[in-house]
Amino acid sequence: MEVNDELQLIREAREKIVNMEIEKKKIYDELVAKIKPNGRLDSSMWDYVVNGVNCYFYDIDALLKNRRKNLDEDYH
């Protein structure tokens, strides 16, 4: 394979990855619009959804439960 062909493949791969990143951000923004997370929840969701840090799922679970509990108490 010629160097120019290899460089073109590298450029195409880079473009695909950039497009994937844009799509990931769009998906995340849609999630945020639905959940409306606070700072810590937003940060944990980003790390879990976008960065793939699986252990953050348990933090997200606790943050959601505590947030809902606090909101429920406001209505009583």
pLDDT at 68: 67
- First-to-last CA distance in the chain? 71
pLDDT at 73: 53
Q: Which positions of the chain have pLDDT values less than 50? A: 74-76
pLDDT at 71: 54
Q: What does the domain layout of the chain look like in residue ranges?
A: 1-36, 37-76
CA 53 – CA 69 distance, rounded (Å): 25
CA 71 – CA 76 distance, rounded (Å): 9
By the 8 A CB rule, do 36 and 28 touch? no
pLDDT at 75: 42
CA 29 – CA 47 distance, rounded (Å): 14
pLDDT at 72: 52
